[in-house]
Amino acid sequence: MKMSAWRYLWTARDIRRKLLITLGIMVIYRLAAHVPVPGVNRAALAGLLEGGGAAGTLVGILDLLSGGTVSNFSVLAMGVYPYITAQIILQLLVPVIPALQQRMEDDPREGQMWMEKWTYILSVPMAALQAVSQIRIFGSFAGVPIIENYGFSGSSLIPSLAIIFSMTAGTMFAIWLGELISEYGIRNQGLSLLIFAGIVSRIPQNLAQLLTGPNPWLLLTFIIILLMLIILVIVIVQQGQRNVPVMYPGRRVGRRMSMPVKGSLPLRVNMAGMIPLIFAQSLLTFPAIIASFFVTSETPWVANLAITAQNVFGGNSNWYWLIYFLFVVGFTFFYTDVLFAQQNYGENLKRAGAQIPGVSKGEPTQRYLTRVLRRITLPGALFLGLVAVIPFLVGLIVPLGNQSGILLVSASGLLIVVGVVRDTFFNIDAELKLHGYDEKLLVR
């Protein structure tokens, strides 16, 4: 009798233990996400999240990356975002600083361990700085303090320091939970699963908001069909890759030399993932944030310039979506080039004695692969740009009003959700094979 190997997913003791550990840690994270920071002004925070514009966009980004904890302003309000920021900063510094690049090239494994260690170290000051800036920026956006009696002078000093320490500790606690999942649960999926849990946990609330609008069932049907099409395209793009042929040298067996082995080097269509969306959104909201401090200026031209910047970069202008699309496409190429340069396939293939047919070893191979990667990155970059502007395109067809914010989170969040589900599927499938279960069919 033939049956799927996934039938044994729960009966395999070791896999069942990993799944239970993963689910248990995710439950702990979601419970901790509801522990609020003392003195939070919930009314001001709710108004900020629903207000839209540059402030609502920025808060929405942070809420997405923190797994929905910003909406509660809990001790985990920053989620694992400081860790992601520290990781991106170090990745961008490697090609800029020759000593770091040399370290990564001499011993990639040792260099990776160095990167992980300093990512953890850098996450601590990044978390503290983000906690301070998050409280201040949210307060300036809302027009009232987000946290009562907050300040670094007089009697407010000790409580304010305690809040900063607790939020920093909350971030490190979330990172620790993610590492526990990667070590004892589903491998290498810890941080991604925590963000995934936050996105999925908001689905009931988003559905409730959709159902309270005009023509709810028609709108819901349209959104479901649209999201299914987006998921289909995401899977196609995420699975897409170009297999570059590579010839590996033969091995010596006794006195005989085996023939060269044909292989391939897979290059992914979308190597950057969701990072370009984060870069573009953060950069676009920055001018609107700066402009918000000059709207009330007594100098007329300064106030007018600030109002124009808020309208353009705050999402209230059609130019915003065009700039957003171009930024996403540009950042996709930039970040892909940075990641690919760090991997240095040309030198690694040369060390292994491998060669791409018709291409010289070493630097010429790296240049050839870079050209190929840039060509196949174009459809991935255009796809990410399309995902970014989906709310605008949908708004041209269906008047969603404030519900466009929900669609924006869903469209961007789907990149994470689909990616995490896909990686988790392959991870569990590999575990089944490791325990002796065939990945396709078993004969009983």
The pLDDT-based confidence of 193 (bands split at 50, 70, 90) is: confident
- Contact call for residues 267 and 244 (beta carbons, < 8 A): yes
Q: Among the listed ranges 168-172, 173-177, 199-203, 367-371, which one has the minimum average pLDDT value?
A: 199-203
- How high is the mean pLDDT of the chain? 77
Cβ-based burial of 69 (10 A; exposed 0-12, middle 13-18, buried ≥19): buried
Strands (E), 173-251: 241-248
- Contact call for residues 195 and 207 (beta carbons, < 8 A): no
Map out the domains of the chain as residue ranges: 1-214+418-444, 240-248+261-388
- Contact call for residues 67 and 203 (beta carbons, < 8 A): no
Within 10 angstroms of residue 88's Cβ, the number of other Cβ atoms is 16
The pLDDT-based confidence of 384 (bands split at 50, 70, 90) is: confident
152-170 burial string, b = 16+ CB within 10 Å, else e?
eeeeeeebbeebbebbbeb
The pLDDT-based confidence of 92 (bands split at 50, 70, 90) is: confident
pLDDT of amino acid 47 = 74
Task: State which amino acid sits at residue 176.
Answer: W
CATH of 1-214+418-444, one of 1.10.3370.10, 3.40.50.2300, 2.40.50.140, 3.40.50.460: 1.10.3370.10
pLDDT, one tens digit per residue, over 10-61 is 777 888 888 889 899 988 988 888 888 887 877 777 777 666 555 565 666 6
Q: Is the pLDDT of residue 261 over 50?
A: yes
Give the contacts of 420 (CB within 8 A, at least 6 positions apart).
189, 192, 193, 195, 196
Arithmetic mean of pLDDT, 145-169:
82
The pLDDT-based confidence of 238 (bands split at 50, 70, 90) is: confident
pLDDT of amino acid 1 = 35
pLDDT, one tens digit per residue, over 108-122 is 778 788 888 889 999
Count how many Cα atoms sit within 13 Å of the Cα of residue 200 in the half-sphere of its side chain: 14
Torsion of the alpha carbons at 315, 316, 322 and 325, rounded to the nearest 10: 20
Q: Is the pLDDT of residue 253 over 70?
A: no
Query: Reduced to 3 DSSP states, what percent helix, strand and coil does the chain have, rounded to the nearest 5?
Result: 70, 5, 25
Cβ-based burial of 59 (10 A; exposed 0-12, middle 13-18, buried ≥19): buried
Q: Is the pLDDT of residue 283 over 80?
A: no
Share of the chain above pLDDT 70, in %: 80
The packing angle between helices 108-142 and 81-93, to 10°, is 130
Helix or strand (DSSP H, E) at 267: strand 261-268
Q: Output Rg (C-alpha) for the chain, integer angstroms.
A: 24
pLDDT, one tens digit per residue, over 319-351 is 878 888 898 898 888 888 888 877 778 888 888
Q: Is the pLDDT of residue 388 over 80?
A: no
Q: pLDDT: is 398 or 237 the higher one?
A: 237
What SS3 state is found at 131?
Answer: helix
Q: What is the DSSP string of 358-403?
A: TS-SSHHHHHHHHHHHHHHHHHHHHHHHHHHTHHHHHHHHS--GGG
What SS3 state is found at 2?
Answer: strand
Arithmetic mean of pLDDT, 417-444:
71
pLDDT of amino acid 173 = 92
Arithmetic mean of pLDDT, 126-131:
85
Question: Nearest 5°: phi and psi at 36?
Answer: -80, 155
Cβ-based burial of 287 (10 A; exposed 0-12, middle 13-18, buried ≥19): middle
Query: Distance between CA 349 and CA 359 in Å, rounded?
Result: 12
Count how many Cα atoms sit within 13 Å of the Cα of residue 240 in the half-sphere of its side chain: 19
Q: pTM (2 decimals)?
A: 0.75
pLDDT of amino acid 404 = 44
Q: Is the pLDDT of residue 194 over 80?
A: yes
pLDDT of amino acid 430 = 78
pLDDT of amino acid 121 = 92
Arithmetic mean of pLDDT, 387-406:
64
Query: Distance between CA 404 and CA 401 in Å, rounded?
Result: 6
The pLDDT-based confidence of 262 (bands split at 50, 70, 90) is: confident
pLDDT of amino acid 14 = 82
The CA-CA-CA angle for residues 37, 131, 70, to 5°, reads 55
The pLDDT-based confidence of 406 (bands split at 50, 70, 90) is: low
